[in-house]
Amino acid sequence: MRKPDREETIAQIIDVTMRSAKAKEINILEIGNLNDLISHDAAEKIRKEFVAFDTPIKQVTNLRKFVNWTANTGVTQNLAVKYVPEETYKITNEVLIFDDTVAIYRLAPDPFYLEVNDTSFADTMKSIFRNIWQLGDSLLLAADGSTMTKQYLPISYAFKNVPVIIYPAKDDGVLERAFSRKQPGSIEKYINDILDHEFDFYKDADTILAYVWNQDTTPYCDIWKITRNDISDDSGLLYDVRIYKDHQVVTDMGVASGNSSIVVTAEEMLLRDLIMKNGLPFAEAANRELYQARFPVGFVPAEEFYTKS
């Protein structure tokens, strides 16, 4: 069978996507963004159809972060997106499922397009999609399609052989007022200075969890000392916390904000699974390049704090 060339594949993608606009619901295992597959003008024309037909869309993606990708702000009102890590399910081809149609396609590394019109096959693919959907974390999108969240991707490393996990806050405080995004390691140095000064308190921790935030140019952090619970595993891990304004402990700000409490809860659930259920050592379980905590909608970390340029 002759393989379609790039232009033929693009034409087929436009055709099937336009047809899907009239569907009762669309399910997509998404490689990236429609703008990456077809021209922006063609993509916006299709999105107008989605808005006109009020089409519900569910997407699963391996991407945590989206920049603004549409001027058709009505699209995101009917769009639900879930992030699934590649370790759970790696998406190498885009799969579009609607009614009795399943279309599988890509442009890279080589153009490919396959369409099956069969109710039984479509039902099977919808069932597979639902199962993958249940594994995902919901992303919160702005009207232009860009992702919104409350924290940057976590940073993990070891300080004097104690595993450390840092979540930089991403909210109205604008963390770059206190730390430069162009200076990798600046947040870690801030936390390390505190840990070094008070290591007598933190030295027996199994893991250290830090939530870093700011007020104007002043850095703040909640540092949680996490230890194994030797009395009752059913109660989970044990936590002590200190709140710092710059490098000084403060006691008049409460134990944690709602945002940092969500981070602690997400980490507790992950560590329970990795350490208490699967028996991993803390050093491995705290590696956030290997394992990622699950977050509620609007809290899924979407990008690294440090920029490459």
pLDDT by residue (tens digit) across 56-78? Answer: 999 999 998 888 888 888 888 89
- What single letter denotes the amino acid at residue 132? I
Average predicted confidence (pLDDT) for the chain: 93
pLDDT in tens, 61-120: 999 888 888 888 888 889 999 999 998 999 999 999 999 999 999 999 999 999 999 999
Contact call for residues 105 and 34 (beta carbons, < 8 A): no
d(CA 62, CA 84): 5
CA–CA dist 210, 208 (Å, integer): 7
The domains located in the chain, with CATH, are 6-147 (3.30.870.10), 155-285 (no CATH)
Q: Count the helix, strand and coil residues of the chain and give each as a percent rounded to the nearest 5.
A: 30, 25, 40
As a whole number of angstroms, the distance between CA 25 and CA 226 comes to: 45
- pTM of the predicted model over 0.85: no
